[in-house]
């Protein structure tokens, strides 16, 4: 029996969309794992999803989408196509309504049975024309969404509001006029997305969701940005699904994870979401991470890699603002070394040295992996980590030698340019 609880992957980030072969790999995984049942197609930079939402897919792109939908269904997963017309739609314009209908019909013709309409990250003011037709932004959203729901006659529709987290409601959900109106006006069967207290929510508390339910008059669907990294190219997240209790599942209608742009980084984040969904008794993210990492190693394309090395990698890039056990130890040891005389380094030096050895071994093995796509996905992260580690290592050597002035290795002088200038100015105080 298929569960009603929506759980799966949402390709909803900014940047290069995944390729067909990557999405097919994702479907393989999701079919194999417990707890995952849905894929939502919403890549911000698919032209026809957002910027050119009015245009129909050209033949070539359409046949790729058709293949995608069929492959998804073959794995018994639900496929949701999302359209994001909010950048420039005129809500009161019949022509725009007709464009929307034609686009949705095109997707129906290639087998899509579930839809979403997204109004995130758009100008939150109605045009002059629309202001004559609608007394509020919420009314415009509710009207067009309800109309689309009716047009879809029986197919499911999800909706992403413009205010989609606590922060955007100034942490006053009850007092937010837009959300209250939507709760009243939006057809009760239309699901509403919510990202938690923030756009990227490290924690989502059950109480905050209960409060939201009162306002939107239904259980929200979590659009989960915990492992999203499109807002900072130096970040990548290999850590487990965390910061949410099992009780949360009773209060939401589903959870869709919008993860790293780098496809191959998403094994642990998605695998552990599936584990979270099927877990009944107690949720231990660390345990899930260790278990998932043991499976992940299969995809690295180098048999010499060890589970320890993979877990070390994961620990360095865990989740937003958090490191795993090893990452925490290493940062602590570097902090100690930099702030204490050499005689007091003791175990901290050993921790650092052993990290350096393991990191170098990990990097060498990754460079030799046959899964080149995985390597390229991780390149920036491992390269920078290795460079910074080398920098500390040179400093340690210099300090221990007790000689003259520190000659910094090349890496730091090389990092120049407009962003570094900006950062210097902005963060100088
Ligand atoms: C967002 C965007 C999402 C993006 C994420 C992380 C939603 C509803 N929209 O605000 O496309 O990937 O932040 O940067 O989350």
DSSP letters, 43-90, are -TT-TTTTTTTTSPPPHHHHHHHHHHHHHHHHTT-EEEEEE--TTT--
| Residues near ligand 1 (Cβ within 6 A) | 12-14, 44, 120-121, 160, 164, 195, 199, 223, 225, 228, 230-231, 258
78 is catalytic: no
Give Cβ neighbours of residue 4 (< 8 Å, ≥ 6 apart): none
Distance from Cα 369 to the centre of ligand 1, integer Å: 32
Candidate from 12, 40, 194, 235 with most ligand 1 atoms within 8 A of CB, to mutate:
12
Task: Give the phi and the psi of residue 315 in degrees, each rounded to 5.
Answer: -65, -30
Per-residue pLDDT tens digits for 312-348: 999 999 999 999 999 999 999 999 999 999 999 999 9
Give Cβ neighbours of residue 388 (< 8 Å, ≥ 6 apart): 411
Distance from Cα 77 to the centre of ligand 1, integer Å: 23
Residue nearest to atom 10 of ligand 1 (CA): 199
- Which of the residues 121, 232, 347, 424 is marked catalytic? 121
Distance from Cα 12 to the centre of ligand 1, integer Å: 7
Nearest atom, ligand 1, residue 200 CA: 6
Residue nearest to atom 9 of ligand 1 (CA): 120
Q: Model pTM?
A: 0.96
**Do the beta carbons of residue 366 and residue 264 sit within 8 Å?**
no
Give the pLDDT confidence score for residue 410 in this predicted structure: 67
Low-confidence stretches of the chain (pLDDT < 50) are: 1-2
Distance from Cα 195 to the centre of ligand 1, integer Å: 9
Task: Give the phi and the psi of residue 122 in degrees, each rounded to 5.
Answer: -130, 165
Candidate from 44, 121, 192, 200 with most ligand 1 atoms within 8 A of CB, to mutate:
121
Distance from Cα 206 to the centre of ligand 1, integer Å: 21
Give the pLDDT confidence score for residue 1 in this predicted structure: 42
Nearest atom, ligand 1, residue 228 CA: 6
């Amino acid at each position: 029996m298929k569960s009603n609880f929506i759980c799966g992957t949402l390709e909803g980030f900014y940047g290069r969309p995944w390729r067909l072969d990557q999405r097919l790999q994702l479907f393989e995984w999701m079919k194999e794992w417990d707890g995952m049942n849905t894929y939502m197609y919403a890549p911000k930079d698919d032209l026809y999803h957002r910027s050119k939402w009015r245009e129909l897919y050209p033949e070539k792109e359409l046949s790729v989408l058709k293949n995608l939908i069929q492959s998804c269904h073959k794995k018994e997963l639900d496929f949701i196509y999302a359209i994001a017309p909010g950048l420039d739609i005129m809500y009161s314009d019949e022509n725009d309504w007709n464009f929307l209908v034609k686009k949705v019909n095109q997707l129906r013709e290639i087998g899509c049975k579930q839809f979403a309409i997204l109004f995130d990250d758009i100008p939150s003011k109605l045009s002059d024309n629309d202001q004559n037709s609608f007394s509020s932004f919420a009314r415009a959203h509710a009207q067009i969404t309800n109309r689309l729901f009716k047009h879809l006659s029986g197919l499911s529709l999800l909706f992403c509001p413009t205010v989609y987290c606590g922060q955007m409601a100034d942490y006053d959900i009850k007092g937010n006029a837009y959300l209250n109106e939507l709760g009243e006006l939006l057809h009760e069967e239309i699901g509403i997305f919510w990202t938690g207290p923030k756009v990227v929510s490290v924690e989502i508390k059950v109480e905050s969701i209960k409060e939201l339910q009162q306002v939107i008059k239904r259980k929200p669907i979590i659009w989960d940005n915990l492992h999203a990294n499109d807002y900072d190219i130096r970040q990548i997240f290999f850590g487990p699904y965390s910061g949410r209790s099992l009780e949360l599942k009773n209060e939401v209608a589903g959870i869709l994870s919008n993860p790293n742009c780098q496809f191959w980084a998403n094994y642990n984040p998605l695998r552990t979401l599936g584990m979270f969904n099927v877990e009944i008794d107690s949720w231990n993210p660390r345990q899930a991470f260790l278990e998932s990492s043991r499976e992940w190693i299969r995809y690295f394309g180098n048999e010499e890699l060890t589970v320890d090395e993979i877990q070390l990698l994961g620990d360095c890039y865990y989740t937003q603002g958090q490191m795993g056990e090893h990452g925490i130890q290493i940062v602590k040891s570097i902090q100690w070394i930099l702030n204490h005389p050499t005689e007091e380094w003791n175990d901290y030096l050993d921790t650092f040295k052993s990290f350096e050895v393991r990191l170098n071994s990990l990097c060498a093995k990754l460079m030799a992996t046959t899964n080149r796509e995985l390597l390229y996905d991780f390149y920036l992260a491992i390269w920078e980590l290795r460079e910074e580690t080398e920098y500390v290592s040179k400093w340690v050597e210099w300090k221990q030698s007790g000689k003259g002035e520190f000659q910094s290795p090349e890496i730091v002088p090389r990092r120049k340019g407009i962003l570094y200038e900006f950062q210097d100015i902005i963060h100088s105080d």
